[in-house]
Amino acid sequence: MYRKEDVLRKLNSDNYYIDIRALETFIQDWQLDPIYEAKDGTVFYDDIAVYKLKRGISLKSQGYNNEQICYRIHKNPIDMSEDESPSNIVKSTAIEEIKTQAPEVRNVALNVTNQTLQMLAEAVAGKITDDIKNHIDSSQFAEKLVEAGSYKKDNEILAKQIADLIADNKKLAKRIAELEKQQKPFWKKFL
């Protein structure tokens, strides 16, 4: 995975001497998409993009225009010779045969670098983690658990107090019944 500055250094080390403006122009004109864009806007390219840039620069020096270069580098970008092939490319990582309704069969080959796979896996894992964190934060999950725990404790305390009050009420009801029994003979004397 390379930032633009790293791509520029790699190209210069391979005797493709261009500056950052030319690199940005080539990337835009030849429609080379980054494989990853960080939150801060930094874009990253893989070995295939570097290869396409090298191939495009070579075609440019041969007099091809940007449309022809764009067509050629995107037509079959994996026609690399063994010495040009990046060492991190996993050969034929996925081959999928798509059968159409006609008897024709199309083969689609996808070559991916190990760096690309690792970066994509990290990006997906980071995105999932961020989504879960944001969901928990937005739903105030932790606060609801704390509230539920405090409600449970409050309910236990209230239940104990109610049980004590009921016991006290039973005692008071017995005492009132005893007092009423004692008062009946007293009232009979006055009536």
Q: Same domain for 24 and 92?
A: yes
Measured over the CA atoms of residue 158, residue 159, residue 161 and residue 166, the dihedral's sign is positive
Question: In this predicted model, which residue has the larger pLDDT, 149 or 141?
Answer: 149
The pLDDT value recorded for residue 187 is 61
**Residue 78: in which H helix or E strand, if any?**
none
The domain containing residue 17 runs over which residues? 4-113
The answer to whether residue 100 scores a pLDDT higher than 50 is no
Alpha-carbon span 59 to 65, nearest angstrom: 8
Confirm whether 15 is domain-assigned.
yes
Q: For residues 111-124, give the mean pLDDT.
A: 74
Q: Are 89 and 152 members of one domain?
A: no
Identify whether residues 66 and 15 lie together within a single domain.
yes
Considering the domain architecture, whether residues 89 and 41 belong to the same structural domain is answered as yes
Confidence of residue 169 (pLDDT cuts 50, 70, 90): very high
Average confidence (pLDDT) over 51-59:
89
In a domain, 131, yes or no: no
Q: Does the pLDDT of residue 102 top 60, yes or no?
A: no
Residues in the chain: 191
Task: Please identify which residue in the block is written with the tokens 């079959």.
Answer: 76
Q: Tens digits of per-residue pLDDT, 8-34?
A: 888 888 888 888 898 888 888 888 888
Per-residue pLDDT, averaged over 49-69, amounts to 89
The closest of 2, 73, 6 to 44, measured between CA atoms, is 2
| pLDDT reported for residue 185 | 67
Looking at the fold, whether 14 and 88 belong to one and the same domain comes out as yes
pLDDT at 85 over 70: no
Strands (E), 38-183: 43-44, 89-99, 105-113
* CA dist., res. 119 & res. 114, Å (int): 8
Q: How far apart, in whole angstroms, are the C-alpha atoms of residue 47 and residue 7?
A: 9
- Looking at the fold, whether 16 and 57 belong to one and the same domain comes out as yes
